[in-house]
Amino acid sequence: MGMAVAAELNGYPGPAHVLELASALDLSEAQRGRTQALFEEMQKAATPLGNEVLAKEMELDQAFASGRIGDASLHRILADIGRLQGELRYTHLTYHLAMRGLLSPDQIATYDRLRSYDIARAPAPGMHGRHSH
């Protein structure tokens, strides 16, 4: 779903990728331990929400497959899916916020470079920031 793209592309690393890049980022033992804890907390919070999204998607599919879906049930199921997806995305992004506070600016710049996000943020020729001339 690309839940964390907005964070990743704007200098807010995620705990999973920070752990993958721990050596290259020269994480201290304290940073490594806290990142591992954040990753585990995120998984613990996100997994049940992800399972709920999958269950609702299955409910939607089964409602269509059975031919017993109407406007009201369609609206209810989609509202549930939207709410759950929002909660799941919020869960992921809160851990990106936490990681931003744990890493130094140099570590974030290194992370962005290693993940090629520095290139993604570079303005195109003729562009200055988010506008052109």
Please write the tens of the pLDDT for every residue from 108-126. Answer: 999 999 988 766 555 544 5
CA distance 133 to 114: 30
pLDDT band, very low/low/confident/very high, at 132 (cuts 50, 70, 90): very low
Contact (CB, 8 A) for 111 and 103 = yes
| Domain assignments of the chain as residue spans, ordered by start | 5-132
Half-sphere exposure of 61 (CA within 13 A, CB side): 6
pLDDT of amino acid 127: 44
- The span from the first CA to the last CA of the chain, in angstroms, equals 34
Question: Is pLDDT at 2 greater than 90 in this prediction?
Answer: no
Per-residue pLDDT, 116: 86
- Contacts of residue 130, Cβ cutoff 8 Å, sequence gap at least 6: 123
Task: State pLDDT tens for residues 45-89.
Answer: 999 999 999 999 999 999 999 999 999 999 999 999 999 999 999
Looking at domain 5-132, its CATH architecture is Up-down Bundle (1.20)
Q: What's the pTM? A: 0.82
**Tell me, what's the pLDDT at 128?**
42
